[in-house]
A and B are shown apart, each in its own frame.
Chain A
Amino acid sequence: SQTIHQWPATLVQPVGSPLSLECTVEGTSNPNLYWYRQAAGRGLQLLFYSVGIGQISSEVPQNLSASRPQDRQFILSSKKLLLSDSGFYLCAWAGLTYEQYFGPGTRLTVT
């Protein structure tokens, strides 16, 4: 069966510091991968998606970036965090049937 992992689970970082969040998927090949952010309200904002290694599409211009160095690995990064980057970050994968399966998420607080 497929599983999706995210780490770290929680993170507190000062403004201006770098960020690296990692997401890995097991049990499937060539999945579509997604990064979402959920801010203090409940809405889900799609940040990036990837349909293959090295292929990244950005939905929202910001100081975040994403990379997919391996088929089942998706990384979210920032060189300098802003206060507005605080939120709950969710990674998801989707196969051929379009439903997305989400990881446990990372709660990021920028101080």
Chain B
Amino acid sequence: AQKVTQAQTEISVVEKEDVTLDCVYETRDTTYYLFWYKQPPSGELVFLIRRNSFDEQNEISGRYSWNFQKSTSSFNFTITASQVVDSAVYFCALTLFLGSQGNLIFGKGTKLSVKP
């Protein structure tokens, strides 16, 4: 069975600090996708990134970066120079290439509060 663990329930930082959100996943399949979503106070989930299991290259998008390490089954998300607008709940998710109908297995989320 698949599982996604986000051990950090809540994180509070001061604006301009860097922050890393941890995500650890479990699956016996060798082909899968990993995702990060952002849920701001408005409630709508916003897709941030998809990474497939064959691509361990780290990715950077502006202040956001993602570190995918298959050896530790982790897909961590770093926000550099955090801003108040980054305050949200962040979800990590997993789906399998085959047999899952694309169903996402979500972690329980990490609530990030960025204070001015």
A42-B108, A43-B108 as given contacts; A105 in contact with B102, CB under 8 Å = no
Please tell me if B45 contacts chain A, counting CB pairs below 8 Å: yes
- List B contacts of A102 (CB < 8 A): 37, 44-47
* Residues 30-70 of A at the B interface (beta carbon under 8 Å): 32, 34, 41-44, 46, 49, 51, 57, 59
- Interface residues as binary, A57-93 with B (CB distance below 8 Å gives 1, 0 otherwise): 1010000000000000000000000000000101010
Cβ B91 vs Cβ A44 within 8 A: yes
Q: How far is the CA of A32 from the CA of B101 in the complex (A)?
A: 8
How many chain B residues touch the partner (CB < 8 A)? 22
B contact face: mostly helix, strand, loop, or mixed:
strand
Residues of A within 8 A of B (CB): 32, 34, 41-44, 46, 49, 51, 57, 59, 88, 90, 92, 94, 97-105, 107
12 additional contacts (CB under 8 A) given A42-B39, A97-B50, A103-B44: A42-B108, A43-B106, A43-B108, A44-B106, A51-B101, A59-B103, A92-B45, A94-B102, A98-B33, A99-B47, A100-B47, A104-B43
